[in-house]
Chains A and B, each alone.
Chain A
Amino acid sequence: MLEIKSIQIETKRETFGHIERRIGKGKAATRYEEATYDLQATTNFHYLPTYDSNYELYDERKTAIKMKDWYSFLDPRQFYYSSYVVTRAKQQEGANQNLKFIGKRNLIDIMPASLKNQFLEHILPIRHFEWGANMNNLQLVSEGYGSAFTSAAMFHAEDRLGNAQSLTKIGLLISENDMTVLDKAKENWLQEPSWQGLRKMVEDSFVVKDWFELHVMQNMIMDTFIHELFFNYYELEVSQNGGSNYTMMTGFISEWFEESNKWVDKTIQIAIEESEENKATLTGWVNKYIDTAFDATLLLANNIISNPEETLLEIKTKLINRLTKSGLNL
Chain B
Amino acid sequence: MSDDNVLLILQAVDEARAIVTAIEKDNPNAVVEYEPAMVKITCPKKLTINTETVEGVIGRDWETHELQLILITLAGHVDEDYDHFTLYWNQ
A30 touches which one: B17, B34, B35, B60 (CB < 8 A)? B17
CB distance from B23 to the nearest CB of A (A): 15
Taking a contact as CB atoms under 8 Å apart, the answer to whether A8 and B60 are in contact is no
| A7 surroundings in chain B (CB, below 8 A) | 36
In the complex, whether B31 has a CB less than 8 A from a CB of chain A is no
Total A-B pairs, Cβ < 8 A? 22
Q: Which of B12-59 contact A (CB under 8 A)?
A: 14, 17-18, 34-36, 58-59
- Write out the residue numbers on chain A whose beta carbons fall within 8 Å of the beta carbon of B17: 28, 30
Total A residues in contact with B, Cβ cutoff 8 Å: 14
Chain A, range 11-64, C-beta contacts under 8 Å to B: 28, 30-32
Contact A78 B35 (CB under 8 A): no
Which among B14, B34, B35, B36 is the interface contact of A31 at CB below 8 angstroms? B14
Q: Does A213 contact B (CB under 8 A)?
A: no
Which residues of the partner chain A approach B58 to less than 8 Å between Cβ atoms?
78
A77 and B59 in contact, given A30-B17, A31-B14 (Cβ under 8 angstroms): yes
Which range contains the number of B residues in contact with the other chain? Answer: under 10
Report the bound CA distance from A76 to B18 in whole Å. 14
Report chain A residues within 8 Å CB of B35: 6, 8
Q: Mark A215-255, 1 if CB is under 8 A from B, else 0.
A: 00000000000000000000000000000000000000000
CA distance A78 to B58 in the complex (A): 7
Q: Is A75 among interface residues, defined by CB-CB distance under 8 A? A: yes
Which of the residues A8, A9, A76 comes within 8 Å of B59, measured between beta carbons? Answer: A76
Question: In the assembled complex, how far is the CB of residue A73 from the closest CB belonging to chain B, in whole angstroms?
Answer: 14
- A78 close to B59 (CB less than 8 A): yes
Partner of A78, one of B14, B36, B60: B60
Min C-beta distance of A19 to chain B, whole Å: 14
Which residues of chain A have a CB within 8 Å of any CB of chain B? 6-9, 28, 30-32, 75-78, 83, 87
- 10 A-B residue pairs with Cβ-Cβ distance under 8 Å, sorted by A, are A6-B36, A8-B34, A9-B36, A30-B17, A30-B18, A32-B59, A78-B58, A78-B59, A78-B60, A83-B60
What would 7 more interface pairs be, CB under 8 Å, given A32-B59, A76-B59? A6-B35, A7-B36, A8-B34, A30-B14, A31-B14, A78-B60, A87-B60
